[in-house]
Amino acid sequence: MKHLSMEEKSRMERDGFHIARALFNTEEISEIRRVFQEQGDSGVTPGLQNDDRLQSNEALAKYPRMMMPHRHADLPVGPVSLSAMLDPRIGDILHDLYGEAAVAAQSMFYFKPPQARGQGLHQDNFYLKVAPANCMAAWVAVDDADEDNGGLMVIPGSHKLGLVCPEQADPTVSFTTEHIPTPEGMQVVPVIMKAGDVLFFTGSLIHGSYPNTSDTRSRRALIFHYGPASMKEISGHYKPLLDFEQHELDGVLAATGGGPCGTEFVAVGSA
């Protein structure tokens, strides 16, 4: 069982994020990488990916992000993502962070090939609408990630500000439309990760990702979102919810608004 020390919990409360180093081993990450890459190489899968908002000549067009792969039991990515999403190592850490059991709401896979745009600074609970508590992300690095190949950036302590209304992002550097300017007195810092590391962060932490300026290095990531078992509502987009025994959680209301994490810019000529 993987649990957090008092010092790690204290840093999480202060900064809004925690890195669990090498939570997944080399063999596990290699299998995740292989299965998702083979699925991506087979072409865009309707219902799993959506490329109609992407410019046909951009790096992300061939490999759009996969949304809710754990719901696709008929595809190889389905059981792989479901198993990782409900991995007890993740569940143990979430239990420490919440002080109670967590339930799974979302899975995503981002390919981030060379020269792909990043994602503007944003807050996850702007989309998930978990209440009265907060959502939590577990961001699994499938490749080594840094500033060069489009790794994550965070603003430590920004989770204490509450939700901030986003502005329009710069479409030349972000594939999603929302962007939150860096709050006064705070700064953006890169999160340097090795494949197998998992970044846990609260739904109020302002974060995003750099563009992948590398010519050869991908930055793939498997991303999950959770809420506490005691939550009262969440955006309906994320239902049904699953506990770590794969049981659907009943009784959580559908919150008004919300939707998928990040809204893609509409390509010229797209509906």
The confidence score (pLDDT) of residue 262 equals 67
What's the rounded Cα separation, in Å, for the pair 199 and 184?
Answer: 25
* pLDDT value of residue 61: 82
105 within some domain? yes
Candidates 83, 48, 85, 80; CA nearest to 64 is: 48
Q: What is the pTM of this model?
A: 0.94
pLDDT in tens, 43-62: 889 899 976 555 566 788 88
Q: Which domain holds residue 30?
A: 6-252
**Cα torsion 145, 58, 115, 159: sign:** negative
pLDDT of residue 2: 66
**Which pLDDT belongs to residue 171?**
85
pLDDT at 267 over 70: no
Cite the DSSP H helix spans in 53-133: 59-62, 77-85, 88-98, 125-128
pLDDT per residue over 161-206, tens digit each? 999 989 999 888 888 888 999 999 999 999 999 999 999 999 999 9
**pLDDT tens-digit map of 75-88:** 999 999 999 999 99
| 176 assigned to some structural domain | yes
Residue 13 pLDDT more than 80?
Answer: yes
**pLDDT greater at residue 1 or residue 16:** 16
CATH assignment at residue 152 = 2.60.120.620
pLDDT tens column, 118-133 = 999 999 999 999 999 9
Number of domains in the chain: 1
Does the residue 257 lie in any domain? no
39 occurs within a structural domain: yes
Average pLDDT of the chain is 92
Minimal CA–CA distance to 68: which of 114, 24, 107, 37? 107
